[in-house]
A and B are shown apart, each in its own frame.
Chain A
Amino acid sequence: AQSVAQPEDQVNVAEGNPLTVKCTYSVSGNPYLFWYVQYPNRGLQFLLKYITGDNLVKGSYGFEAEFNKSQTSFHLKKPSALVSDSALYFCAVSYTGGGNKLTFGTGTQLKVEL
């Protein structure tokens, strides 16, 4: 079975400060990891993915994530937060031999304030 944990329901950060949204996972095979973002009244938008290769993945809107196999983590980061980054962020995982579905975390609400 596969699972994803996003331990923080909400993260608050001041604009211009770095942000981190945490994600840990559990799978039986090699993981494929994703971050999606949902803005108010919008659908899920793809941010970035880790499939293989370099552990540091860069994605849309200046976001990046680091795959850490030993800690089974895939935390989302951005060096300097913007108010417009305020949204709901979902981490998701699938894995080799795990079927063709994504398993999501419960989501983390990011609030960036002036």
Chain B
Amino acid sequence: EAGVTQFPSHSVIEKGQTVTLRCDPISGHDNLYWYRRVMGKEIKFLLHFVKESKQDESGMPNNRFLAERTGGTYSTLKVQPAELEDSGVYFCASSPIYLIRINEQFFGPGTRLTVL
């Protein structure tokens, strides 16, 4: 079974540009999560989808971040315009619906975003 995949693995952009990160969850997983780790700090929750619906977006830092999950399969996270403080590693995770109560999640390799 393929794991969670993320693209690109690394992105370097200049301040003010736009970047779109993609996450493909494990097939059949209705839950999809985005997290972010800023250098040296904890991994922080950004948002949670159940299928195509946003269940919880309380961790989204501001309106420069837009997450979508059209059709309930893959998800994209767009940052527009990017700022220096957006640099970090963005992780995607997924889980099947029956694990939602205990929050066991399967993580992808992450996308390292560098904003210059």
* Interface residues in chain A, defined as those with a beta carbon under 8 Å from any beta carbon in chain B: 4, 32, 34, 36, 42-46, 49, 51, 90, 92, 94, 99-107
Contact = CB atoms under 8 A, between A and B. Distances in A.
B107 A36 contact: yes
Dominant secondary structure at the A interface: strand
A26 to B, nearest CB: 14
A106 B37 CA distance: 9
B41 A51 contact: no
Interface of B: 3-4, 6, 31, 33, 35, 40-45, 48, 55-56, 58-59, 91, 93, 100, 102-110
A102 B42 contact: no
A42 B4 CA distance: 12
Contacts of B33: 100-102
B100 to A, nearest CB: 6
A94 B100 CA distance: 11
A91 to B, nearest CB: 10
B48 A43 contact: no
B102 A32 contact: yes
A105 to B, nearest CB: 6
A44 B103 contact: no
Looking at A92, A101, A104, the one whose CB has the most chain B CB atoms below 10 A away is A101
A106 B31 contact: no
Contacts of B45: 101-103
A101 B59 contact: yes
Contacts of B40: 106
Contact of A44 (B41, B58, B91): B91
A100 B107 contact: no
Contact of B109 (A43, A101, A105): A43
A107 B31 contact: no
Contacts of B107: 36, 43-46
Given A99-B56, A104-B42, A106-B40, A51 B102 contact: yes
